[in-house]
Amino acid sequence: MFEGALILESLRVGVEISDVPLLVHKISRYAVASATPSQAAVWSVLEFGVEDERVEVLAETLAGALDQPGWYADFHDAREVFVVFPGRVFRYERGDTVARAEAQEFGRELGIPGVQLDWTD
């Protein structure tokens, strides 16, 4: 099973994700000191699990559902990491610092502050 987090404010208005079953672990809201002008100052975070056989579908679904600019979602298992940006999916083995740096650079190009590019690896 892959575990991850999704900031609900990162979804485009009108998007519905219903074709990928998620196991909800926790839902929380908190104020964000590092929010950019295009991001909400309070985030609602959905921490979830997704079965291995559905992880690629979730990645592609989120790539089409995330708003721009400056949002991403991430999830991982013991071996792999998915980092999903609007229109782009990065998938790499945990510990691959080159692939992680490539994903982080892409995020910076989208205007995501470096402090937010802190997914679990």
Is 50 inside any structural domain?
yes
Residues contacting residue 35 through CB under 8 Å, at least 6 positions apart: 41, 43
Is 109 inside any structural domain?
yes
| Eight-state DSSP code of residue 66 | B
Mean pLDDT of 70-86: 96
Is 86 inside any structural domain?
yes
Is 121 inside any structural domain?
no
Is 61 inside any structural domain?
yes
pLDDT band at 110 (very low <50, low <70, confident <90, very high): very high
Q: Which domain holds residue 32?
A: 2-116
User: Among residues of the chain, what percentage have pLDDT more than 70?
Assistant: 100
pLDDT band at 120 (very low <50, low <70, confident <90, very high): confident
Is 12 inside any structural domain?
yes
Is 62 inside any structural domain?
yes
Q: What's the number of domains the chain is made of?
A: 1
